[in-house]
Chains A and B, each alone.
Chain A
Amino acid sequence: MQTITINEAISQAVAEEMRRDPAVMMFGEGVATKRIELLNEFGGKRIRNTPLAEGIIAGAAAGAAAMGMRPVVDMLFVPFMTLAMDEIVNSAGKLRYISGGQFSFPLVAIAMTGTGWTVGAQHNHNLEAWFVHSPGLKVVMPTTAADVKGLLKSAIRDNNPVMFFLEMAFTYETGDVPDGEHIVPLGQARLCREGQDISLISYGKTVSACEAAADQLKEKGISAEVLDLRSLKPVDEEAIVASSRKTGRILVVHEANRMCGMGAEVAAIIMEKAFDALHAPVMRLTSPDVPAPSSYPLELAFTPQADSIVAAASGLLAYPGKR
């Protein structure tokens, strides 16, 4: 076991995959500058800085991927991806289908988002649901160093475009990562904590808030299960349904805002596949429908915290039913 930061986990995953497969390369704004260890090992052909132009970064990745390369691109902050939507959504996401399967797009687009660095709404916007809604793309959002490394390796090996979203506030957080080859498959949720009374289903930064909430609930004698989706597309329906059937009370928690967010999809999956097991309506706890604030106290108010999760969970547990 090694203890490394999330940022180191990214470099480690990329380096290992580049050693394994000569088609893997990485580029983006500052990639060769900020990941000097990769530049030193692999050289300027495979590790490149780019102009500050998100459209051409993503377009170059899509074109190269279709011709057999496996590019990893750093788009920096998620809202910047709005300048690359055509390349990601219309090209990488659709041209396989449109062409009758003649091309595939094995690329990874890394970008960070979320509160914590007080950067405001044009650097912080949890847009993951946009990409989940776009056919042809896969979407992950891991939060531990081990998951970041393991999922990034899977994403690089995947033959489809994978949007790899990260919590910017966790960039330099450390975590334990198994030594040697460590792979986490796409599409598998992580059961963080087993429980019997209520399921807290989340992804991203709010997973750790759910775990803190579970600690508080335990003191009240309530056993909460915490599920980290990690992959949003494909999403682990089996794990969602299994947890829902087990507890019958589900709170979905995420930092992205509510309407048409991932929580709505999770709630619908539960209604379709575990309705008969429910003791209460599936509830969502999310940020409000506002641009992300910059001021730190407002950031804290924007993001679901352990206390608000405990309050929402308590409401669900009090819901009339056959508990």
Chain B
Amino acid sequence: MNEILLDRTLLLSMLETMQLIRYHEEKVIAMQAAGQSAGTCTAVGQEASAVGVVSALDKDDLILTNHRSAGHLLARGADPARIYAEVLGKATGYCKGRSGSLHVSVKELGVVLTSTIVGAELSLAAGVGLAMSMRDRNNVVTCFFGDGASCEGSFHESINLAVTWKLPILYVCENNQWQAFVHRKETMPIKHISTWAASHGIEAITVDGNDVEAVYLAARKGIAHIKATGQPYFLETYTYRLRGHYEPDDQGYVDKAELASWQAKDPIERMYAKLGFTANDTDALRKRISMRIDDAWTQAAADPYPPLSDLTSDVYA
């Protein structure tokens, strides 16, 4: 798709956010390699899926995500320094340093109940959607998960309940083709998760997950469907995890030709080209974001650790 369908200001903003996410995650990767951070799970290569969907949401819509959450959080406006603080276990993190990188929730931004148990986001989303529908709120609950979570029973249980109870949930399956260290081809007979979803009676489509414009438009369509019919909607963003399961990971198990074919479809490079960025313009944007990321890391690294009294607080309400 080379034709530009969306407003250029929106596209520029989405490109900038995708670049922010890429540099944000690459910084953690570099710091991990340098021994200054624990390992994390990244979603490098999946930025268009996060930004396309989150850009389509209203501010009162809610999001559930998983262990690959940085893109969703940053697209929602989270402060990179506070995410880094969480990665580093600092008191200034969004969860007071209790989450680490794996389960960052930011209630004030509507990113709720982040769980790192693969599939848990799906069962929790049903409850968040239930609360939304009980209150007759005209908003949607977006649930991000992957092809791995789709192999869990909770995938089917959640969609079945959402269809049966008419819950306002936008399911977003980021099919990045990797389930920890195993390619989806080894674990499932089908290519597209939307096939499974559709059998539950939910409207389900698959979109090029590396095309931010296509993802945005598909998400808008899904949200309109939810609001018009009261039924949930299933959007599969077909994409690829360019890095390993976590950092460090030598990706020795990854087919090099397949990896190269997806590197050639890098969603960020595609947008620079589509928007006609010159080399100078590209460098300028990258430099600006890179400085912001470096500053964020420096700030988080200097922030204090939680007091030891935090060890036992917030267990019970």
A residues contacting B by CB (< 8 A) are 25, 45-46, 48, 50-51, 53, 55-56, 58-69, 71, 86-87, 90-91, 95-106, 135-136, 138, 159-160
A-chain residues with CB within 8 Å of residue B117 when the two chains form the complex: 86, 90-91
* Neighbouring A residues of B127 by C-beta, 8 Å: 59-67, 69, 71
Q: Quick check: is B131 within 8 A (CB to CB) of the other chain?
A: yes
Q: Which residue of B lies closest to A99 (CB)?
A: B105
Are B132 and A67 in contact, with the CB atoms below 8 A? Answer: yes
B113 contacts chain A at the CB level, 8 A cutoff: yes
In the complex where A100-B95, A136-B315 touch, is A59 in contact with B124 (Cβ < 8 A)?
Answer: yes
A105 to B98, CA, bound (A): 18
A46 to B119, CA, bound (A): 26
Which residues in B have their C-beta under 8 angstroms from that of A105? 317
- With a cutoff of 8 Å between Cβ atoms, the chain B residues found around residue A65 in the complex are 127
* Chain A: CB-nearest residue to B95: A100
Closest CB in chain A relative to B299 CB, distance in Å: 19
Task: Give the complex CA separation of A147 and B108 in angstroms.
Answer: 40
Which residues of the partner chain B approach A56 to less than 8 Å between Cβ atoms? 123, 126, 154, 157-158, 160-161
In the complex, whether B103 has a CB less than 8 A from a CB of chain A is yes
| Chain A residue at smallest Cβ distance from B133 | A45
Min CB distance, A67 to chain B, in Å? Answer: 3
Given contacts A25-B134, A103-B112, A136-B315, contact A59 B93 (CB under 8 A): no
Contact of A97 among B112, B131, B161, B315 (CB under 8 A): B315
CA distance A46 to B314 in the complex (A): 29
Query: Within the complex, what minimum Cβ distance (angstroms) separates B168 from chain A?
Result: 13
Residues of B within 8 A of A160 (CB): 316-317
- Please give, as numbers and ranges, the residues of chain B lying within 8 Å of A25 by CB-CB distance: 134
From B154, B157, B316, give the contact of A51 (CB < 8 A): B157
Q: Which of B112-144 contact A (CB under 8 A)?
A: 112-115, 117, 119-120, 122-132, 134
B126 near A45 with CB under 8 A, answer: no
Interface assignment of B171: CB less than 8 Å from any CB of chain A: no
Q: Which of the residues A61, A103, A106 comes within 8 Å of B105, measured between beta carbons?
A: A103
Does the CB pair B120–A135 fall under 8 Å? no
Bound-state CA distance A160–B165 (Å) is 26
Q: How far is the CA of A63 from the CA of B315 in the complex (A)?
A: 17
Please indicate the chain B residues that have their CB under 8 angstroms from the CB of A102 in the complex. Answer: 95, 105, 107, 112
Q: Once the chains bind, are B153 and A136 in contact (CB under 8 Å)?
A: no
What residues on A are CB-neighbors of B98 within 8 Å?
A: 97-100
Is B164 on the interface with A (CB-CB < 8 A)?
yes
B107, chain A: closest CB distance, angstroms: 4
A-B contact count (CB 8 A): 147
Contact A100 B154 (CB under 8 A): no
**Would you list which residues of chain B between 182 and 206 have a CB under 8 Å from chain A?**
none
A7 to chain B, nearest CB (A): 26
Question: In the complex, are the beta carbons of B95 and A98 less than 8 A apart?
Answer: yes
Supply 30 A–B pairs (Cβ within 8 Å), ascending by A: A45-B134, A46-B134, A51-B160, A51-B161, A55-B157, A56-B161, A63-B113, A63-B123, A63-B128, A64-B128, A64-B130, A64-B134, A86-B123, A87-B124, A90-B115, A91-B113, A91-B124, A95-B105, A95-B113, A95-B115, A97-B314, A99-B98, A100-B93, A100-B95, A100-B98, A101-B314, A103-B107, A103-B112, A106-B317, A159-B317
Q: Which residue of B lies closest to A48 (CB)?
A: B165
Q: Evaluate contact between B317 and A96: CB separation under 8 angstroms.
A: yes
The reply to whether the CB of B96 lies closer than 8 angstroms to some CB of chain A is yes
- B112 CB, min distance to chain A CBs, angstroms: 7
Closest Cβ–Cβ distance, residue A277 to chain B (whole Å): 29
B residues near A104, Cβ cutoff 8 Å: 317
Chain B residues within 8 Å of A63, by CB? 113, 123-131
Nearest first, the 5 A-B pairs at minimum CB distance are A63-B127, A59-B123, A67-B131, A100-B96, A104-B317
B94 within 8 A of A: yes
Q: Does B313 contact A (CB under 8 A)?
A: yes
Given that A96-B314, A98-B95, A100-B314 are contacting pairs, would A67 and B120 also be in contact in the complex, using a CB cutoff of 8 Å?
no
Interface contact B103-A98, CB-CB below 8 Å = yes
B94 lies within 8 A of A100 (CB): yes
Tell me the bound Cα distance from A160 to B157 in angstroms.
Answer: 25
Shortest distance from the beta carbon of B90 to any chain A beta carbon, whole Å: 11
Chain A residues near B160: list those with CB within 8 A: 51, 53, 56
Which of A51, A69, A91 is within 8 Å of B115, CB to CB? Answer: A91
A136 to B130, CA, bound (A): 23
For residue B19, CB closer than 8 A to chain A, the reply is: no
Bound Cα distance A97, B94 (Å): 12
